Structure 1
C-alpha cells in the first residue's frame, strides 16, 4: 500500500489516498485512532459503473458519519470503473439488460450473471487485498464491517472472508443465482435496506435473498419510493450504503 496524499478534513478525519495492487482507494481515519487504541474498520463499497470521482461526495459523507462513531473507513475503485479497464463483456450485458427493461421484460438469469458475476469475481479479491493492507496498520484493529452495494459483492465477501463481522447491504442490484446459494452459508448479522418502489430493482429477488441468508440476526428495512428516496434513507443506515448496478 502506497499512500499518495494526506488531507485533514474539517472534522479532524484524516483522508489518505493510496494505490495498491494496480487499483486506487481512499482511507479515512477518525481522530481517535492510535496504535494504543486501534479502531474497527468499515468497507465502503460503491455501486458498479460510477467510480470514486463521481461518488466521492457521498463516500466522504459516509466516512465522516462512521468516524463520528469511531470507525475507520476505506473504499476502493472497483474493477471496470474510473481509470481501470472495462470488464470483458460488461457493455454487452448492460445493453441486454436495458433492452429487456425497455421491452417491459424481466432480465434473464443469464444476463444478470454476465453483468454481475465478473464484477464480483474481480472485486472480492481486491477487497481482500485491501483488508490485508489496512489491517496491518497499527491504528486499525480487528472487527470489519461491509457497507453498501453491489449486494452480490457483499454476499460473496461475507461468505468467504471470516474477517467480515457484519454487513449493511442495499438491495438495489440484480441478484445472480449463485448469490442466493452463497447467502445460505452466511451467519453474521445482516442489515438490508430495500427501496420498495425502485423501478430498477427486482423487489422479489431482494426479498428472496433476504430469506436465503442463514443469519439468525438479520433485519430488512423497506422504504417507500425509489432511488432518490433511498439517498435520504441511506443516511439513517449505519455506515450509509450505496446502490448497485
Structure 2
C-alpha cells in the first residue's frame, strides 16, 4: 500500500504538475489487490485537455487515469448516482488523497463518501419496468432454450440482470464483473440474507447444465419487485424525423 501511494504521487507530480487534486482508488486502497492490479488515479485539472481517460504504465504499474475538470467530475458523479453504479463515486469516496492544492481533494472525497454511504435512489416507474421485463424475457429464454450453448449464454445474462434488479431495485449499488459478487455480499450484510451464495451456486450449476437454481433465483428477485412483466409493458420511442410536440422547445 505504501509503495502504491508513493508511486501514484510520483506519477501525478511527473505527468500532471498543474493538477488541483488527485486521488488513488481501486483495489490497492480497498485491500483486494492482486498481482495484476493497476493504479486507479483520478486527477482534477483546471481545464483542458481534461476530461479524458487514459491507460499507461508508470514504473512497474499499469495505470488507469481518470482526468477531469470540476464540471466533468460533477457530471460523472451525478451520473453514477442516477444509474446506481458508483464507479467514480467509489474512486473518490474510498481513496487516498494524493494531492490537494486548494481543498478540492478533501471536499470531493467527503462528498463522494457521503453519496456512497447513502446509496442510489430506488428504481421506479419505467426504469423498474424495463428491468423487470428484461429479467422476465431472459428467464423465458433460459427456460425454453434447445441449444446448450444458447442456454448457457442466456443464463449468464440472466444471473447478471437479476442481480442488477435485486440490488438497484432495493436502493443498493450494483456493478458489473467482480462487483456483482461484492455488491451482493454488501447487500447480504445489510439485509442478513444469502443472495450472494445463491447467485454463486446458480451460476455453477447452470454451467454444469442445471438451470433450476438460477430460475428460482430470478423468480424470487422478480417476486420482490412486482413479479414478471410482459403483457402491458410499453415504452415510448423517439423518431428524430417527427415534428416537435406543440409547446415544446
The TM-score range, normalised by the shorter chain, is: under 0.3
Q: TM-score, normalised by structure 1?
A: 0.24
Q: TM-score, normalised by structure 2?
A: 0.24
The structure with the greater share of residues assigned to strand is 1
The structure with the greater share of residues assigned to helix is 2
- Which of structures 1 and 2 has the bigger CA Rg? 2
